[in-house]
Amino acid sequence: MENLLINILFVLLPILFFQIFYINTDSKYKRVSLAAVFSISIIICMNFPITNYEGHYFDFRYVPYVLGALYGGKKVAITLYFVILAYRFYLGGVGFYIAVFDSTILLFILLLVLLPKYQAYSLKTKISSMMVLLALVNIISLFLCHSLFGFILHAPTVLLVSFVIAQAVTIGLSVYFIEYLKAMDTMKKQLYHNEKLKSLSEMAASISHEVRNPLTVTRGFIQLLKSPDIDEEKKNNYLDLSLRELDRAESIITDYLTFAKPHEDVELELINVIDEMNYVANVMQPYALMQSVSITKEFFTSESYILGTKKHFHQCFINLAKNAIEAMPNGGKLVFKIDQENRMTTIELIDTGIGMTTEQIERLGVPFFTNKEKGTGLGTMVAFSIVKAMKGEINVNSKLNEGTTFTISIPECVKNDAT
């Protein structure tokens, strides 16, 4: 009974490796891996036979042999054929000649009958045909062995029947598991493909919508400019509004391109984080005053340097600061914090605004997701992209009606090393 369980275990174990080496990898050596794994399974099954009745080994060697052939192809089938014969010859005994007959019959059936059409069979046909094949081969093998040596059928009937049935059931279950894994993999790939198409469709629709709005407004003003009785003041007003809308369309496209290609071929420079965050704070100060928001700076280090580009650094933190200010419609406080730890520069933007739910936090950085009525979500998306390009990370903590903290961690660069 113990050896029976060992045989079943080492027949089912290659199925795990089948998923690892065949389904989940695109390696050109995956068939070599399959041949190796099923060869090991065959050898272990033969090393721990269910019983050895007068030189004839009762084991499950043909289950991994057939499975390896069906899912590995002709080369794997031929490899496993020689593995069986070589190891059976090494073990010795009169059963070697029966093994030659059984293995050869199986090889011809696999190569000429099953392999060309197997993948087109239904799951039910695959399972039933494999169970019938192994049962018939084992029955023929037993009768042939008895005809040649005259002793096999004298073995206990329970042993012979159990051997044939157990082997048929084992390969049936094995085929079912492998086909299930393949079906799950196909479903996963199809789902991934559908998600990509859905994302592409949503992005195309969103970009189209966002750009169409300012273009539609501009078109309307241009049509008004064609009116013969329009005065000069209205004409200039319409032109200013048209230019403003065109600038907005350009800004949307620029933000999208920054996200799509964050790793531009630009020369990295040493950025003094303290100086540049002071610049961001000064730039945002007028906008913050308009929104009744006070800006506070808490710098816990005298100097800190990172590698990047000032243009993108400013764009990133101005976008985040602008979002933070707009999240405080009734006024509030925005804090810029800078600290250093374990060769990482940490920049925090803390606001006392409306906050976000967990679901909203998870969707931050997704194109065209925004919590603002007139926002596009591209500003946050670009900020996330720029931080990633600087090999940094963004963590967000927020509570509704209490505020939000953006924590940006970027690898520190020692000034002497950079120069």
347-368 pLDDT per residue, tens? 999 999 989 888 888 777 665 5
More confident call, 81 vs 52: 81
Per-residue confidence (pLDDT) for residue 415, from 0 to 100: 66
- Stretch 16-40: mean pLDDT, rounded? 71
**pLDDT over threshold 80, residue 257:** no
On whether both 96 and 38 belong to a single domain, the answer is yes
On whether both 26 and 120 belong to a single domain, the answer is yes
The Cα angle at residue 344 between residues 339 and 346, in degrees rounded to 5: 40
Classify residue 289: in a domain, yes or no.
Answer: yes
- Stretch 203-224: mean pLDDT, rounded? 72
Q: Which residues pair with 413 in a beta bridge?
A: none
Which CATH number covers residue 324?
3.30.565.10
Which CATH number covers residue 227?
1.10.287.130
**pLDDT over threshold 70, residue 10:** no
**pLDDT over threshold 60, residue 91:** yes
- Stretch 13-42: mean pLDDT, rounded? 72
**pLDDT over threshold 90, residue 264:** no
**β-strand 393-399 against 403-411: which pairing, if any?**
antiparallel
- Of 153, 162, 148, 77, the C-alpha closest to 118 is 77
**What is the phi/psi pair of residue 323, to 5°?**
-65, -40
Local confidence band at 21 (pLDDT 50, 70, 90 cut-offs): low
Classify residue 13: in a domain, yes or no.
Answer: yes
What element of type H or E holds 272?
Answer: strand 269-272
Per-residue confidence (pLDDT) for residue 348, from 0 to 100: 95
Question: Number of C-alpha atoms within 13 angstroms, CB side, residue 228?
Answer: 0
Local confidence band at 109 (pLDDT 50, 70, 90 cut-offs): very high
Give me the chain's average pLDDT, please. 81
Which CATH number covers residue 171?
1.10.1760.20
- Stretch 94-116: mean pLDDT, rounded? 88
Classify residue 203: in a domain, yes or no.
Answer: no
**pLDDT over threshold 60, residue 419:** no
Classify residue 200: in a domain, yes or no.
Answer: no
- Which residues lie closer than 8 Å to 49 by C-beta, 6 or more apart? 3, 7, 57, 58, 59
Local confidence band at 72 (pLDDT 50, 70, 90 cut-offs): confident
CB 71 within 8 A of CB 178: yes
Classify residue 93: in a domain, yes or no.
Answer: yes
- Stretch 116-120: mean pLDDT, rounded? 87
Domain range holding 50? 2-193
On whether both 340 and 369 belong to a single domain, the answer is yes
Domain boundary among 243, 260, 277: 260
CA distances, 228 to each of 217, 223, 224, 242 (Å) = 20, 11, 9, 19
Tokens found for residue 158: 């329970």
On whether both 97 and 181 belong to a single domain, the answer is yes
What element of type H or E holds 398?
Answer: strand 393-399
On whether both 293 and 243 belong to a single domain, the answer is no
**pLDDT over threshold 60, residue 45:** yes
- Which residues lie closer than 8 Å to 34 by C-beta, 6 or more apart? 14, 17, 18, 21, 22, 68, 71, 72, 76
Classify residue 306: in a domain, yes or no.
Answer: yes
On whether both 249 and 273 belong to a single domain, the answer is no
**pLDDT over threshold 70, residue 18:** no
Scanning the structure block, which residue is given the tokens 């005259």?
Answer: 150
Per-residue confidence (pLDDT) for residue 201, from 0 to 100: 67
What percent of the chain is modeled with pLDDT above 90? 22
As to burial, measured by CB atoms within 10 angstroms (0-12 exposed, 13-18 middle, 19+ buried), residue 417 is exposed
What element of type H or E holds 194?
Answer: helix 157-225
- Stretch 365-392: mean pLDDT, rounded? 69
What element of type H or E holds 396?
Answer: strand 393-399
**Radius of gyration, alpha carbons of the chain:** 35
On whether both 138 and 278 belong to a single domain, the answer is no
Classify residue 201: in a domain, yes or no.
Answer: no
On whether both 177 and 227 belong to a single domain, the answer is no
On whether both 289 and 145 belong to a single domain, the answer is no
What percent of the chain is modeled with pLDDT above 70? 80
More confident call, 144 vs 10: 144
CB 381 within 8 A of CB 257: no
- Of 79, 75, 73, the C-alpha closest to 41 is 79
Classify residue 392: in a domain, yes or no.
Answer: yes
pLDDT tens digits along 317-358: 988 998 899 889 899 999 999 998 888 999 999 999 989 888
Buried b (16+ CB within 10 A) or exposed e, 206-232: bbeebbebbeebbeebeeeeeeeeeee
On whether both 181 and 231 belong to a single domain, the answer is no
Tokens found for residue 241: 């509004």
Domain count, the chain: 3
**pLDDT over threshold 70, residue 378:** no
CB 329 within 8 A of CB 294: no
On whether both 300 and 346 belong to a single domain, the answer is yes
On whether both 111 and 64 belong to a single domain, the answer is yes
The Cα angle at residue 168 between residues 10 and 135, in degrees rounded to 5: 130
